Structure 1
């Protein structure tokens, strides 16, 4: 497995693979643990050993991260002493990108329609994939929304129902036309 180069579009995937890679290489100590106190003359051999392991983890992690970033992203980040600080600086650059990505994913979920020439399972898996991507950004869709959309598509396909059957008679009641006020039911079907 190769760690991709971090660019403007792959932060979530890059971070996940980075954490996996550092864990596999046993270099994730500096990410998981705070920097130990500086050594003194009274430090025990165990403290010295732990400090050396933490320092190695921190230095190697920083090198791996910097080697797998595009220069356009690396340049504006100030050199930080710890890998945690460095990762926090990288994350700050992606906050505004996250909001546009979330908007795009929500729009994509709202626009996804079942194509009868394809398998129902594919449609359901696409919707679940988008919902999982939104969950990465801490956006939890109501489970009932996905269940309703998927069940409606399956029922419509199985019983050859028309769109107007599910939505037309209850158009006046907002409870039936939206769930949570932001997820239109007519986005589930074409």
Structure 2
């Protein structure tokens, strides 16, 4: 299946002259099928809000041209850069997805010839981490060795695991203290299944 067939070639003429000439008819049907599939695929990958702003088009090529008219490439570049600079990790858990998203945003800048360097991206990622990662950031900054994004990803996932374990220990300790009535609270002991 050649989905870009409708983008590469112009729409062939449809011959309905009643002649038994199958070649042009097959060519037209192939182009029509590929155009329909290309149009559906493009529309499926575009968010609903953007889809509504694009006028109805008969061909995939016309649809892509209408999309180009709607968006200024430099506006897109600016919004990608802004998101890359202001994105923050919002909770412990999900640091892998957070770093992958930042790496994806940085790679989108390649098409605008504005790809950040590896070390700049590492610093952006470190700056986007929560306050719980401060000791980790200090440790990175005191080392002479600079990490690549892949190494930072691995280290952040390890740090996240350590942070999650410490949070779980704190929660367990608080439950034990509350169950013992320490602090003047008058609460009934927790059931074994809750501890």
TM-score normalised by structure 2 residue count? 0.42
TM-score normalised by structure 1 residue count? 0.43
Question: Greater helix percent: which structure?
Answer: 2
Q: Which has the higher contact order (CA 8 A, sep 6+)?
A: 1
Structure number with bigger Rg? 2
